[in-house]
Every structure is written in C-alpha cells, then in structure tokens.
Amino acid sequence: MRYPEAMVTLKKWTVDELLAMDKAGLLNPEKRIELIDGEVYEMPIGENHADVVDRLTEVLVKQFSGKARVRVQNPIFLDQADLVQPDFALLDAAQDYRNHHPRPESVYLVIEGSDTTLAHDRGKKLGRYARVGVREVWIVNLNAGYTEVYRDPHGDEYLTKFVVQKGSSVAPLAFPGDAVTLL
C-alpha cells in the first residue's frame, strides 16, 4: 500500500493561543519568549546585555518619570501574530494597561539591547515594528558600542536611520527636550 507524500507545514501561532498556553502552564515562566510572525522565539540575555538593561532602566525611569511609563522587558501587542518583549518601551502614561498589553499607538519608543540577536532584531523584528507603525526604535548594538536609531516607519522599514556613538546623546521624537546619554 502506498501513502501519499506528507506535506510538512509550519504551525503559526496567534497571540491568543500563546497566552492560553502560558495561562495553562505550558510555557516555562523562566524563559523570555516572543511571538513574531506567528513563530515563537526564545530570547537569551547574557551578562553584558543584562547589565545594560539594569543601567539603562535607572536612566530611563529617572528621566521620564511623570512623562511616560517605562516598560522593561514586558510584552507589547503588535497584532495577532506578534507579541514582542523589547528591552524597553516608553509608553503613554495616561493609558491603563491592566487588562491588555500596550498597542503600537501607545508606544513612543522601543529600545532593543542586542548582541547575539542583532540580525534578528534588525531584520524580522524591526520590520514588524515598522509595519504596525511603531514611531521610533533604538537598537543598542552591544558588540559595536553604538546605538542605531530608526524613525519614520513606512511599510516594513524605517525611512530615517542614523547611528549615535556610546557616550553621546539623542532625544526621542516624542520628547525632544529629553536627550538620553547612551551607555
């Protein structure tokens, strides 16, 4: 007896399915995961990355207290195929996020610390941010010692990109008077 050839397909997940799996205890709570284009990614954090997150948390909270909510390594809902956990997000402080994760329209700035995940962050993830209209993304390139600034989303890309060296300052578009000195 001959069987037809099986077609191998990739199962794409939705945010609702991922959250249901988490609620059911099927996901390891110690793992930092993201859903990008319906695919689940585990996002590692090395020592240098963790140190930068700690130090930048202090800077951002101090600088933007009362102006924006500083979200650290917590989910942002982009659409049903994308639930990301950037290292930082500056959010609209007037919004209530108790019953839902922030949406792109509430996000002023996303900051990703990146070393081992640089290609992923610059590629698929940055394209997703642009596609849903996240206004500004900074990628702190831990390997090269500078920050890549992306602004003006259009389609799956950002029209404006520039680099800011470590120790220099840049202000988010939403807060032009609040320059951040980069670590």
pLDDT in tens, the chain (183 residues): 565 666 666 789 999 999 998 889 888 888 888 999 999 988 888 898 999 999 999 999 999 999 999 999 999 999 999 999 999 999 999 999 999 999 999 999 999 999 988 999 999 999 999 999 999 999 999 999 999 999 999 999 999 999 999 999 999 999 999 999 988
pLDDT of 11 reads 85
Level-2 CATH architecture, domain 45-182: Alpha-Beta Complex (3.90)
pTM, 2 dp: 0.91
Q: Which helix (H) or strand (E) holds 114?
A: strand 107-114
pLDDT of 182 reads 87
Contact 114, 88 (CB under 8 A): no
pLDDT of 8 reads 67
CA nearest neighbour of 148 among 131, 130, 135, 166: 166
Domain locations in the chain? 45-182
